[in-house]
Amino acid sequence: MKKIAIALVLCLLVVGMAVAQDSVTVDISKLPGAVPSLNGDGTIVVRNQNRLTPSPGGGNDYAFWIQALPEGTFPADAPWSTYDKIRVVFRYYRSNGNEIRQGNSNCMVVVMYDPAGDSEGPANGPGPNTPVKIFNVGGANGNVRVSSPAGSTIRPLTKAPGGIVMQRQGNGSVATIELVELTFFK
């Protein structure tokens, strides 16, 4: 009888933790454009890698790319209104393939609900379709360290994101951006 009670309690704990969903991380290997790359230790790591394209305004100083997050990317029952933090990790490369170290002016990230809608939002912060807009991903942005384990505080979302925009912030040598991690958590 004790074994059944213990098994039942453990089952309830596991189910309770699964229902709580303290975080949701994008499985990058399932995104359109994901390609396998060989890590330095010989293991294969799937990354999403896209070339930057010129900005819609015609300039090339702030080249960008949009990554759609198709339906099914996130669990249908994810509690978006409870996630108040985000962690985004990128790697940056020159056109010759050499990696650029993390720092300011490499990239900005915008999370959007509708990838066919407004992908820029207001100049200095979130907007109706762009609930998350963070400058200097990987660099110092005041106390915001969005690529650190602690992530960055955000306003909770009202629904699952439909896409993200990665935009070069001025470092003209950034030719390729790899999305390594995208996690929403509380």
The owner of tokens 């050499």 is 98
Q: Say which DSSP state 30 is in.
A: G
Strand, helix or coil for residue 2 = helix
Q: Say which DSSP state 33 is in.
A: T
Q: What is the pTM of this model?
A: 0.78
The owner of tokens 């979302």 is 157
At 180, give phi and psi (nearest 5°): -100, -40
CA distance 159 to 131: 10
State pLDDT tens for residues 99-145: 988 887 788 899 999 988 988 889 888 999 999 999 888 776 655 67
Instruction: Please report which confidence band the pLDDT of residue 16 belongs to, taking 50, 70 and 90 as the band edges.
Output: very low
Question: Does residue 98 or residue 58 have the better pLDDT?
Answer: 98
pLDDT at residue 32 above 70? yes
Termini Cα distance of the chain: 38
Say if domain 23-185 classifies as CATH 2.60.120. Answer: yes
Least confident of 12-21, 79-88, 114-123: 12-21
Cβ pair 152, 137 in contact under 8 A: no
Cβ pair 55, 172 in contact under 8 A: no
Q: Say which DSSP state 142 is in.
A: T
State pLDDT tens for residues 159-170: 999 999 888 877
Copy the structure tokens of residue 164: 């993200």
**Those residues with Cβ within 8 angstroms of residue 140's Cβ, 6 or more apart along the chain or in another chain:** 104
